[in-house]
Structure formats: structure tokens, C-alpha cells
């Protein structure tokens, strides 16, 4: 025999809310998110320094101030060669000319270094040939060689208008001829009106000695 019992409305509400409360209480607790520390930034300052050697240039990467907390610094040294200057051979005069061989003896060296000019002091008659005083100048174009005047023999000529030699004399200098310098001596020679005087090295010059330096 079944007996039905009336349930109050308040009890019905509690029976219905019971499972809902159990489901709500069974939810997992929320997790708290924590911020992760980030790596400190790296700061590098570039400082260009003068070359350590002529063949290299040094660049140092160093901090320009004392690093503070949270910053890191680094130092590097980078070297790379300095470019060599280029030479334009086409711009150099006579760059393609072969090098002159060394002189064979002192006379050969004088031929390369000495040039001569002549001046005259003539107060004689103009209608006959007569003796004139000539001043012979020798100029040394070499910058590392000087010559003893006693070794510097020369020959002076008096020529007519066609260039034929009418008279000649031989002499030598009484003073040394320095490097890049000059010397002068005097000598008498027969000449006449309209004749020209010139001088050149004589075969006796140098006396067979080796070249000087």
C-alpha cells in the first residue's frame, strides 16, 4: 500500500538547488598569472680610435659610460688593413725609360754631369785675329757628385761662321766643382771678329780614375 506524502514547496526548491551548488563548487580554482622577468637589453657604443699600426685601423666597441643595473656591455676590437696608395705610372715623366747604366770611369761621369759655357773679354782690333781672354764656366747638374778642379780638363775652340775650328786651347779648373754647383776659370785663345767660342770636356779629363760618389 502506497502512501503519498505532500512535500512542501520550500523543500522542493532545496532539492532542485542541491545539484546546482555541487556543480558550482566543483569548478577548479583560477590560476594566477605571474610576469616572467625579461632579459636585460644589451647596449653597445661604437668608438673609432686612431690606427695602432700604419697597416691597420682599430675600431673599439666599448661603453661610453658606466653601465647601470639592468644593462650589459661588451667590448670588441675589429682591425682591417689600410688601402695602399696607387701610383699612376703614366703620369710620371719618362717612367718607361730604361735606367741609365753606371758610369765607366770619372770622365764618363763628367760627361753626364758637366756642361760648359764661354764668355769673352775682347778689346783687340776687329780686322785681325788676336788673343782674347775667355771665361769658361762649368755647371754640375748631379746632386750627389762633386769633382776636383784638377781632374776637370776642358778644351776651348774658336770657330768660324760655318763651325770649322780655327784655334783651340786646353785647360783645367783651379777650384772644385761641387754637386749642383759651378766653377769658373780663365784662359787665353786666338780668335777674331765674327768667330764663336765654345768649350767641351777634353780627353785628358778624369785621368782614367774610377767614378766618384
User: Could you report the per-residue pLDDT of 78-130, keeping only the tens digit for each?
Assistant: 676 777 767 666 677 665 667 778 889 999 999 999 999 999 987 777 778 99
What are the phi and psi torsion angles at 168 (to 5°)? -150, 155
Q: Given pLDDT bands bounded at 50, 70 and 90, which one contains residue 32? A: low
* Alpha carbons 206 and 187: distance in angstroms, whole number: 20
Q: What is the pTM of this model?
A: 0.53
3-state secondary structure of 182: strand
Give the right CATH number for 106-207 from 2.60.120.10, 1.10.287.130, 2.40.10.10, 2.60.40.10.
2.60.40.10
Query: Which tops the pLDDT comparison, 69 or 60?
Result: 69
Residue ranges of the chain assigned to CATH 2.60.40.10: 106-207
pLDDT digits (tens, 9 = 90+) for 171-209: 999 999 999 999 999 999 999 988 999 999 999 999 989
Q: Which residue has the cell 760618389?
A: 213
pLDDT at 212: 79
Amino acid at each position: 500500500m502506497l502512501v503519498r506524502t505532500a512535500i512542501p514547496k520550500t523543500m522542493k526548491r532545496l532539492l532542485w538547488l542541491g545539484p546546482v551548488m555541487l556543480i558550482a563548487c566543483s569548478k577548479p580554482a583560477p590560476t594566477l598569472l605571474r610576469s616572467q622577468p625579461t632579459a636585460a637589453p644589451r647596449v653597445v657604443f661604437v668608438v673609432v680610435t686612431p690606427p695602432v699600426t700604419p697597416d691597420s685601423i682599430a675600431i673599439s666597441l666599448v661603453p661610453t659610460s658606466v653601465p647601470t643595473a639592468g644593462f650589459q656591455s661588451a667590448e670588441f676590437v675589429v682591425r682591417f688593413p689600410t688601402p695602399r696608395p696607387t701610383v699612376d705610372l703614366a703620369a710620371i715623366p719618362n717612367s718607361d725609360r730604361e735606367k741609365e747604366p753606371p758610369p765607366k770611369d770619372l770622365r764618363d761621369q763628367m760627361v753626364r754631369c758637366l756642361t760648359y759655357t764661354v764668355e769673352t773679354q775682347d778689346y783687340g782690333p776687329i780686322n785681325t785675329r788676336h788673343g782674347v781672354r775667355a771665361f769658361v764656366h762649368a755647371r754640375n747638374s748631379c746632386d750627389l757628385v762633386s769633382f776636383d778642379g784638377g781632374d776637370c780638363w776642358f778644351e776651348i775652340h774658336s770657330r768660324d761662321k760655318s763651325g770649322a775650328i780655327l784655334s783651340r786651347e786646353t785647360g783645367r779648373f783651379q777650384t772644385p766643382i761641387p754637386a749642383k754647383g759651378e766653377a769658373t776659370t780663365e784662359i787665353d785663345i786666338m780668335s777674331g771678329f765674327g768667330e764663336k767660342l765654345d768649350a767641351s770636356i777634353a780627353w785628358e779629363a778624369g785621368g782614367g780614375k774610377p767614378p766618384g760618389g
